[in-house]
Amino acid sequence: MKLSARNTLKGTVKEIIIGSVNAEVIIELSGGDRVTSIVTNDAVKALGLAVGEPAYAIIKASNVMIGVDH
């Protein structure tokens, strides 16, 4: 797989919460951090996503916001 996205994070699907149209997919990375994504229910089916199976979180953003507490 070749992508233009710079941030490709491999992990394991930990949870899939199916909604009426979209699903929340939680991927756990090797260090224990988790990434959550909202995708369509059709995408879950098309990708064959299942808890315990490997998957990639692919992040493509033109800008990233940073905040601090004061």
Q: What residues have CB less than 8 Å from 18, skipping those under 6 apart? A: 41, 44
| Domain presence at residue 2 | no
* Tens of pLDDT, residues 22-62: 999 999 999 999 999 999 999 999 999 999 999 999 988 77
- How many structural domains does the chain have? 1
| Domain presence at residue 18 | yes
- What is the predicted pLDDT for the residue at 65? 74
| Domain presence at residue 36 | yes
| Domain presence at residue 66 | no
Is pLDDT above 80 for 16? yes
Whole-structure pTM value: 0.84
State both tokens at 48: 């064959």
Exposure on the CB side of residue 47, measured as CA atoms within 13 A: 18
Tell me the percentage of the chain whose pLDDT exceeds 70. 97
Where residue 18 sits, what CATH number does that domain have? 2.40.50.100
Q: What residues have CB less than 8 Å from 69, skipping those under 6 apart? A: none
- pLDDT band for 13, please (50, 70, 90 cuts): very high
- Which domain range does residue 18 map to? 7-59
Pairing relationship of beta strands 54-59 and 34-40 according to DSSP bridges: unpaired
